[in-house]
């Protein structure tokens, strides 16, 4: 049986993951509105991944006999200054999520919740990949600078991303 503390914390993380999905969907819409369909694709896939993360936590709660409690999701930001601005926001958000996952893991250790620790290990590894991916796009955007041709080439590269 899952402890009340761990249950409440995982339920809160479910909300954070759904918000992440919603926020990235909003960023995808921003990129569509600025005629960058490759960036929009990258963000759409990111949104789908975050939705999947929420469901992974959701299923963990159910499998452990807990009650899922869905909370309201905040409205995401809709306007950005540039693709680089968006990707910097993605990295900041992923760093925040990493911190939340680490806090959950620490709680699972404190509560001696071994099944949660095993499940959260997957998230810890996933967050390394999430931050790495955002950093790679930021690095490429900085290399491109203000060159429209470079931005178009990067957009085409990001269009090739496929859902896993």
Q: What percent of the chain has pLDDT over 90?
A: 96
Residue-level pLDDT at 50 = 98
Per residue in 71-122, pLDDT (tens digit) is: 999 999 888 999 999 999 999 999 999 999 999 999 999 999 999 999 999 9
Phi then psi for residue 153, to 5 deg, are -65, -40
* Euclidean distance between the first and the last CA atom of the chain, given in angstroms as a whole number: 32
Cβ-based neighbours of 159, under 8 Å, separated by 6 or more: 37, 38, 41, 42
Residue-level pLDDT at 164 = 78
Q: Does domain 4-159 have CATH number 1.20.5.510?
A: no
The residue count of the chain comes to: 164
Per residue in 21-75, pLDDT (tens digit) is: 999 999 999 999 999 999 999 999 999 999 999 999 999 999 999 999 999 999 9
In the chain, domain spans: 4-159
Q: Over the chain, what is the mean pLDDT?
A: 97
């Amino acid at each position: 049986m899952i402890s009340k503390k761990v249950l409440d914390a995982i339920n809160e993380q479910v909300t954070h993951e759904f918000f992440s999905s919603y926020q990235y969907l909003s960023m995808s819409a921003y990129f569509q509105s600025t005629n960058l369909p490759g960036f929009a694709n990258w963000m759409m896939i990111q949104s789908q991944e975050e939705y999947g993360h929420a469901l992974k936590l959701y299923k963990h709660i159910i499998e452990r006999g807990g009650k899922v409690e869905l909370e309201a999701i905040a409205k995401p930001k809709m306007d950005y200054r540039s693709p680089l601005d968006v990707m910097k926001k993605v990295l900041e958000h992923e760093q925040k999520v990493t911190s939340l996952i680490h806090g959950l893991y620490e709680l699972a250790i404190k509560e001696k919740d071994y099944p949660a620790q095993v499940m959260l290990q997957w998230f810890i590894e996933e967050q390394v990949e999430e931050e790495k991916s955002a950093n790679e796009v930021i690095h490429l955007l900085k290399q491109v600078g203000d060159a429209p041709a470079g931005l178009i080439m990067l957009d085409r590269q990001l269009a090739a991303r496929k859902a896993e």
